[in-house]
Structure 1
Amino acid sequence: MITRLIFIAVTTIAIGIGYHEYIGGSFGIFGQTCHRRFRNPFKYMATKTPYLDTGLNEEAAYGDPYRKHHGGSCVPTMTWHLVRHGTRNPSQKVIRAMKNTLPRLQDEILAAHKSGKGNLCEEELEAIRTWSMDKVPVETGEKILVPQGEKELAGISQRFKKRFPDVFAKDYHNDTFKFKFTKTQRAEASAKHFNKGIFHDDQVDQIYYPMAVRADPVLRFYKDCKRWKQEVDKNPEAYQERVKFETSNIFNEMLTKLQTRLGLEKTPSLEEAEIMYLTCSFESAWDPSKPSAWCHVFDEYDFQVMEYRQDVEYYWIDGYGYRLTYEQACPTMQDIVNKLSDKVSDPSAPSVTAYFTHSGTLLKVITRLGLFNDSRPLLGDNFDHHRSSRKWRTSFIDRFATNIAFVLYKCSETHKVGLMFQEKPIPQPLCEGKYLCPLEEFYSSTEPITKNCDLAKFCTV
């Protein structure tokens, strides 16, 4: 009778809260908490989030995305793309940390629960129990594009071809299509799989790619910017807001919660929490149909804390924190303007230009375009203000295969330019929030950026 009453009580609570959609966790059998079971496990994985296209409806994926803005009076003639590489393996440093830390934590968690400590539910505990080191890649495979990344890039190009068939429908010719990637395996492989989504197999091998360079002035301009490296990237002061958050009560309380939940003898270190978070992110990105076992150790609030730590760092290192960071993106802006101008003056100029690069480039260009700019900066002590409403969230603006695209339209009396982010039209801050910006207005708004682009001046120490 008592057992029956307990079952009814637990069931009633679970139904009342919403078993599968409870934000922050759900109830397992006999009141144990299944922490990871909230609606979207990919919502807080920061820069290691997979590129999922489930948010694209039929119109976004197959029709002219700007038709409602021009009413059929404009025709697309050119696209320009900047694409982050797809899902990849971790760095050697992260792979070593996985190998050195996770088996020990796995043993400690299982031993703790066997002795009655910790409060993971059986489903979560079983996931930790059956996790295997076989999932950890070998160090020689560091940072290489994985099959999920190949799928992401091919899917993006296929959908662009369906949206703009007149722009992409031509057979490959080097005068029509221009592609370029950085000197990395993940960027090169991303470019080639992007093109597999456009061309027939017999054409893919004919594609010309210029020689890749480490510090390409358009694709990776910051690599040779000594001043930026000295004043921002390698400057401890540029990381002070992240450090402030890592040492805050909010972060330390989150670590204490992890200790209690996992039943550990001592509070997890920052490094231990980070490697569990990164493993959750990477393994889930490799196969989005099977979220990682290590995602079970966090509840939704913990994920928000871990994500914010990442966001604060990227805000100050690659975003709005320092003017120099985004001012050095001007060569990429020049390339956009030049390609648009070439196409307007010469209809035979390239119809598609696509560059394949990295997180650091995308974030700096996004910032130079004025996108995702919060009214208050991200600081180590204003997590509560930014927790649920900030624009700068790398889980959305810097996931694997993040992409921006400019689309040139020829209209009855003029040309107009659209900006797409993650395959969707987006208002342009440089053009007073217009979706389709008249070309002359676009030129005028970007002129202060493109006319004062002197990297030697920006980057000389």
Structure 2
Amino acid sequence: MKLVMSSLSILIFFFSLKLFNDVQAFDVRQHLSTVTRYSAAKDVGDSNFVPSDIPKECAPIHLNLVARHGTRSPTKKRMRELDRLADHLAVLVREAEENHSSLQKIPAWIRQWKSPWKGKLKGGELISKGEDELYDIGIRVREKFPDLFYEDYHPDVYTIKATQVPRASASAVAFGMGLFSEKGSLGPGRHRAFAVTSESRASDIKLRFYDCCENYKDFRKNQEPAVDKLKEPVLDEITSSLARRYELNFTRQDIASLWFLCKQEASLLDITDQACGLFSPPEVALLEWTDDLEVFILKGYGKSLNYRMGVPLLEDVVQSMEEAVKAREEKPTPGSYEKARLRFAHAETVVPFSCLLGLFLERSEFQQIQREEPLQLPPKPPQNRNWRGSNVAPFAGNNMLVLYSCPVKSSNNYFVQVLHNEHSIPMPGCGGTDFCPFDVFKEKIVGPHLKHKYDTVCKVKTEPAQKPETSKLLLLFNWLFSLRNDDTRSDKVEL
């Protein structure tokens, strides 16, 4: 008789081997997909990639930043979900007691657990950990590129933009406080005031393009049930496993809510021995993969619409670099041209923008994208994958594009360096380097996307609208006219 192993059993076997060989213990805080905190994710990348050795003669002249907001609290909808979870856990414990089941297997915390956010009226705001993330990034950016940030602040030199969502604008403020710390005269920290501008949510096609794109909203609404179906086998398998382990009649919804709770506790509260403690490392790996699938399908490479609607942002980035090149050629006086364009938005912004750059792809996959061919879904654990939400768009996740001016040694005077979460990252569209000639960057990476216009990509295609029928007399006239000409028509008359 053949021995059939479930995917979870196989994963447990491979994890056992991996953990046996790993010196460092498994840290669930690095496996929370897009709920991963920046400190747990920023230094987890491709250790095999060797960054380019940028010549000393090359000087940075402009920086573009596209960043996600920092760690935030759960939204009101999610807080209500956790309240329902607390109620159902109480029911499960009571049922176990009534059935005289062994209560020793039930973790003690479950018996009295209440949501830490119970009774909170508002949600989704930037928390103090999120403020720290952006503040510290601002300081590090200034230290890494002192030639760009030595000048006195002016809003035309250092442009800061955010969406109208408070956690994004608060992130912009925290970043700016770090970037310009000790450069002003306000308070003991010698802070200075700076401007953060936003566009209306209804028209912000650079940072909230997904909110303005009707075709995308239709796609997402129609695709979400299919994504849920993809997750079901994993959730069902883990539901059965946990029900046996703790002798509680968990439902699939319970497991989904407990996984969400695990992510919130680990990321926001540094609690890893409650909800996260219910899951084994192999189960965490599978749950993380289901989240990564959702990000891939609904925000990433799963459909070209996901990132093509971000072309206005890509155009804005390239335009700012071209203006910097022009200013450089004209040898301007200090303070007369923009040195940095800094943007603060959401995962729905950062993920598509990363896709527009072709990040987290093998070179063959980048070629598939260029040919507009669909990509395979990220492989299931224990297989390795480039696409991990914890790396692509953790809280405060960011892409920086730094434009360098280099001495004339060849036909290329300007180069673009791409940093993801402050680390160099290869661009498959530029031969796998992180330091790409600006002309090549525009031709190979940017150019193919620019043939897709936002309005064409995003506007719902409808049949030509019929003009209103203005009067019965006009209808009668048209009908008589049609009889006179023996013209067979439908009952509807277009005017």
What is the TM-score when the length of structure 2 is the normalising length?
A: 0.75
Instruction: Please state if 1:429 is matched with 2:428.
Output: yes
Q: Quick check: which has more Rg, 1 or 2?
A: 2
Residue in structure 2 matched with residue 13 of structure 1 by the alignment: none
Change (3 A) 1:128 1:196: farther
1:287 to partner: Cα distance: 3.2
Residue in structure 2 matched with residue 338 of structure 1 by the alignment: 319
Residue in structure 2 matched with residue 258 of structure 1 by the alignment: 242
Whole-angstrom CA distance in 2 between matches of 1:162 and 1:53: 21
Whole-angstrom CA distance in 1 between matches of 2:57 and 2:211: 43
**What letter corresponds to residue 29 of structure 2 in structure 1?**
F
1:239 to partner: Cα distance: 4.4
Q: 1:48 aligns with which of 15, 32, 35?
A: 35
Q: Deviations over 1:26-60 (max 9, x none)?
A: xxxxxxxxxxx952121321111111168659xx9
Q: Aligned to 1:167, what secondary structure does the other structure show? A: coil
Q: Aligned to 2:275, what secondary structure does the other structure show? A: helix
Q: Aligned to 1:445, what secondary structure does the other structure show? A: helix
Q: Aligned to 2:121, what secondary structure does the other structure show? A: helix
Whole-angstrom CA distance in 2 between matches of 1:131 and 1:396: 31
Whole-angstrom CA distance in 1 between matches of 2:289 and 2:451: 34
Q: 1:366 aligns with which of 350, 354, 358?
A: 354
The correspondence of residues 320-339 of structure 1 with structure 2, limited to 5 A, is 320-339=301-320
Whole-angstrom CA distance in 2 between matches of 1:401 and 1:55: 9
Whole-angstrom CA distance in 2 between matches of 1:110 and 1:127: 14
Percent identity over the alignment is: 26
Q: Deviations over 1:244-294 (max 9, x none)?
A: 341x2x442211111122220x2x222211111111111221133x43621
Q: 1:243 aligns with which of 190, 212, 229?
A: 229
Deviates more, 1:316-325 or 1:201-210: 201-210
Change (3 A) 1:412 1:322: same
Structure 1 gap ranges (5+): 1-16, 25-36
Q: Aligned to 2:63, what secondary structure does the other structure show? A: strand
The correspondence of residues 2-401 of structure 1 with structure 2, limited to 5 A, is 38-52=25-39, 56=43, 69-105=53-89, 108=92, 112=96, 115-117=101-103, 119=105, 125-128=107-110, 131-133=113-115, 135-136=116-117, 138-200=119-181, 202=186, 206-214=193-201, 215-230=203-218, 232-236=219-223, 239-246=225-232, 248=233, 250-264=234-248, 266=249, 268-288=250-270, 290-291=271-272, 293-347=274-328, 348-373=336-361, 377-378=376-377, 383=380, 386-401=381-396
1:175 to partner: Cα distance: 2.0
The correspondence of residues 414-453 of structure 1 with structure 2, limited to 5 A, is 414-449=413-448, 451-453=450-452
Change (3 A) 1:421 1:54: closer
Change (3 A) 1:23 1:130: farther
The answer as to whether partners of 2:42 and 2:421 remain within 8 angstroms in 1 is no
Off by >6 Å, runs of 4+ in structure 1? none
Q: Deviations over 1:40-87 (max 9, x none)?
A: 121321111111168659xx9xxxx97x52231211122110000111
Deviates more, 1:201-210 or 1:269-278: 201-210
Change (3 A) 1:221 1:331: same
Structure 2 gap ranges (5+): 1-14, 329-335, 366-374, 461-495
Change (3 A) 1:55 1:328: closer
Q: Deviations over 1:104-140 (max 9, x none)?
A: 41674598599425646xxxx345457543x216443
Change (3 A) 1:373 1:438: closer
| C-alpha RMSD over aligned residues | 3.0
Q: Aligned to 1:233, what secondary structure does the other structure show? A: helix
* Count of aligned pairs between the two proteins: 409
Q: Aligned to 1:353, what secondary structure does the other structure show? A: strand
Q: Aligned to 1:419, what secondary structure does the other structure show? A: strand
The answer as to whether partners of 2:38 and 2:396 remain within 8 angstroms in 1 is yes
Change (3 A) 1:222 1:139: same
Whole-angstrom CA distance in 2 between matches of 1:276 and 1:204: 42
Change (3 A) 1:418 1:53: farther
Change (3 A) 1:448 1:415: closer
1:241 to partner: Cα distance: 4.6
The answer as to whether partners of 1:326 and 1:365 remain within 8 angstroms in 2 is yes
Q: 2:405 aligns with which of 406, 410, 422?
A: 410
Change (3 A) 1:244 1:280: closer
Q: Deviations over 1:143-181 (max 9, x none)?
A: 111111101111111111111112123231112100011
